Structure formats: structure tokens, C-alpha cells
Amino acid sequence: MKTPLVLCLSLLLPLSSLANPVPDESCEQIRARITSQIGTLPKPDTELLKTVGVRKDCRFTSAEVYRAGFGEQPKAPYEAPRYRARHGHGEDD
């Protein structure tokens, strides 16, 4: 009777160590990696996104998550003020 119990416990113990992995990087180190990305990335950084997604305790902002995956956000296109005035979208509307 003890043999099956010992066998089951010996199989489950290694699985419990996988449930709570020790984080490789601190939150500050991950934030430093995010801020080091300059410009927009040619393709998404899936590894950094996975790291950010796993670390719920760091409470990353949506801007940090976006920058982790895609780099800096592109600038909004310039809208000339005269466009609004010409098309009836004045300040008073």
C-alpha cells in the first residue's frame, strides 16, 4: 500500500517545482530592457512580451507592454489647423 503512494508522491514532487518558477529578472531589469528599445521594431519582440505577460506582480502599464512588443509608438500624423476650418469643423461646433 505504501509503494503506490510513494510512487505517486515521487512523480508529483518535480511537477510542483515547475508550478512556481523563480523569476530570472527583477521588474526593474525588465523595465530597463523595455526602455532600451528605440524606435519601432521591424517585427514584434515575442520573448519580451512573454516575459512581461508572465510577471503579473510587476504591474506593467499598457504603454510599457506596447513598447515591449513593438517599440516606441509612431507619432500621430500632423493635422493642419486650416483643414478643420475649411471643412466646417470650427472651434464652435
Nine-digit cell string for 68: 515591449
- List the chain pLDDT tens, one digit each, 93 residues: 556 665 555 666 565 445 445 567 899 999 999 999 888 888 999 999 999 999 999 999 999 999 999 988 877 777 666 655 555 655 555
Q: What share of the chain is helix, strand, coil (3-state, %, to 5)?
A: 60, 0, 40
Amino acid 34: pLDDT: 92
pTM for the predicted model, two decimal places: 0.57
Helix (H) or strand (E) holding 27: helix 27-35
Cα separation, 43 vs 29, in Å, equals 22
Cα separation, 75 vs 59, in Å, equals 25
Neighbours of 33 (CB within 10 A): 15
